[in-house]
Amino acid sequence: MSNATTGLDAARKQEIKEVVCDILEIDEDEVTEVSLFKEDHDADSLRAIEILAALERTQHVTIDQAELSRMVNLVGVYTVIEEASARG
């Protein structure tokens, strides 16, 4: 598993996972850190923006829309949130 997400503690990761699963309308045991939102969980571009917006709100960060290309699975989201938190 990626080491890129060590900066976020387990509780924070769980919070993010809940937000993502809520928007994708899936159970938490259906998603893994590397399963793809689009290919594996039927997300479209609108869902991706919903995830971005919800994370900005709950994680108190600002995420550039260009980051959507990296937010394809939980690992990608953790990395983007970690970087955004470091900036903020």
Partner 1 sequence: MNTGMRGTDATPRRVVVTGLGVVTSIGIGIDAFTTGLREGRGGVKPITAFDTTGFDYANGCEVTDFDPAQWIHRVDPDELGRASQFSVAATRMAIEDAGLTVDEVRARRSLVSVGTTDGESRDLDQLVETGLATGPESYDPVVARRVPAGRLSSGIIREFALEDVEAVTIPTACAAGNYAVGYGYDALRSGDVDVALVGGADALCRKTFTGFYRLGTIAPEACQPFDKDRKGILTGEGAGILLLESLDSALARGARIYAEVLGYGLACDALHPVAPDRDSIARTIDIAHRNAGVTPDQIDFVSAHGTGTRANDITEVGAIRQIFGADAMPRTVSIKSMIGHSMGAASAVAAAACAVALTQGFIPPTVNHNETDPECGVDCVPNEARAAELNIVQNNALAFGGNNAVVILGKYRSAA
Given the rule CB under 8 A, which residues bind partner 1? Answer: 44-46, 49, 53, 65
Whichever of 34 and 49 has its CB closer to partner 1, that residue is 49
Tokens 């990626």: give the residue: 2
Of the pair 4, 53, the CB lying nearest partner 1 is at 53
d(CA 10, CA 69): 24
Least distance from partner 1 to the Cβ atom of residue 65, Å: 4
C-alpha–C-alpha distance, residues 17 and 32, integer Å = 10
Q: How far apart are the first and last CA of the chain?
A: 26
Q: Which CB atom, from 46 or from 86, has the smaller least distance to partner 1?
A: 46
Task: State in angstroms the smallest separation of the CB of 46 from partner 1.
Answer: 6
